């Protein structure tokens, strides 16, 4: 139905970024979400099954296969954005066309298990990094030219945790078919 389309596109709603620094307890919750995501996506992909992963999660949306490869691609970039912000003074990150990336030939030719393994490895490194950041490091920033705005690492943590849950919900929609 037409009224369900926005919910299918954003099944958990849109993210809300904090204006103030996160508390240690809030950071812990978001880091734990990032740590859990690879196993949750793997379980959701198994539950949906191979055939359903070839279907779009909504009319006009990506296939489950594209979503899983997208999460691995994007989270690798997210991890690198954190590293750039920690080692450079307010870097401008490099945006990319995620729709074009979803159409590259490796997306159709690579088993989703490869991207799920990549996601596990990236998240292991990323989460280990996050657990060791100081309060000062959490306030470091980068500039996103597409959105023409600065992000603190606290804000990026919230955004990127949401991104994982957002696409986990998309894979979950395939299990309901």
Model confidence at 176, in pLDDT bands (50, 70, 90)?
A: confident
Q: Answer whether 105's CB lies under 8 Å from 149's CB.
A: no
Q: Is the predicted pLDDT of residue 6 greater than 60, yes or no?
A: no
Domain 23-175 falls under CATH 3.40.50.1820: no
Three-state DSSP class for residue 58: coil
The per-residue pLDDT for 82 is 98
> Angle, nearest 10°, between helix axes 64-87 and 153-175?
170
Q: What is each CA distance from 120 to 35, 95, 123, 126, in whole angstroms?
A: 9, 23, 5, 10
Binning pLDDT at 50, 70 and 90, where does residue 50 land? confident
pLDDT tens digits along 10-41: 999 999 999 999 999 999 999 999 999 999 99
177 pLDDT tier (thresholds 50, 70, 90): low
Nearest Cα residue to 65 out of 47, 40, 45, 84: 45
CB 58 within 8 A of CB 139: no
pLDDT the model gives residue 173 = 93
Q: Could you give phi then psi for residue 96, rounded to 5 degrees?
A: -150, 160
- List the domain boundaries for the chain: 23-175
The answer, yes or no, to whether residue 3 has pLDDT greater than 70, is no
Q: 89-105, pLDDT tens digit by residue? A: 999 999 999 999 999 99
Whether 109 shows a pLDDT value over 50: the answer reads yes
Residues 6+ apart with CB under 8 A from 160: 34, 75, 78
* Cβ partners under 8 Å of residue 138, min gap 6: 21, 22, 27, 152, 153, 154, 157
């Amino acid at each position: 139905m037409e009224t369900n389309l926005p919910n299918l596109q954003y099944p958990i709603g849109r993210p809300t970024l904090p204006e103030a620094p996160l508390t240690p307890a809030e950071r812990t919750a978001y880091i734990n979400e990032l740590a859990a995501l690879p196993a949750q996506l793997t379980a959701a992909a198994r539950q949906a099954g191979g055939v359903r992963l070839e279907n779009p999660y909504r009319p006009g949306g990506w296939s489950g296969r594209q979503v899983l490869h997208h999460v691995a691609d994007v989270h690798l970039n997210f991890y690198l954005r954190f590293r750039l912000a920690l080692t450079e003074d307010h870097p401008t990150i490099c945006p990319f066309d995620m729709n074009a990336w979803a159409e590259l030939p490796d997306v159709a030719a690579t088993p989703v298990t490869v991207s799920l393994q990549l996601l596990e490895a990236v998240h292991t490194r990323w989460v280990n990094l996050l657990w060791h950041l100081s309060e000062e490091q959490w306030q470091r920033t980068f500039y996103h030219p597409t959105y023409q705005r600065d992000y603190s690492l606290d804000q990026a943590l919230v955004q990127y945790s949401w991104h994982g849950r957002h696409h986990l919900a998309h894979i979950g929609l395939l299990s309901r078919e």
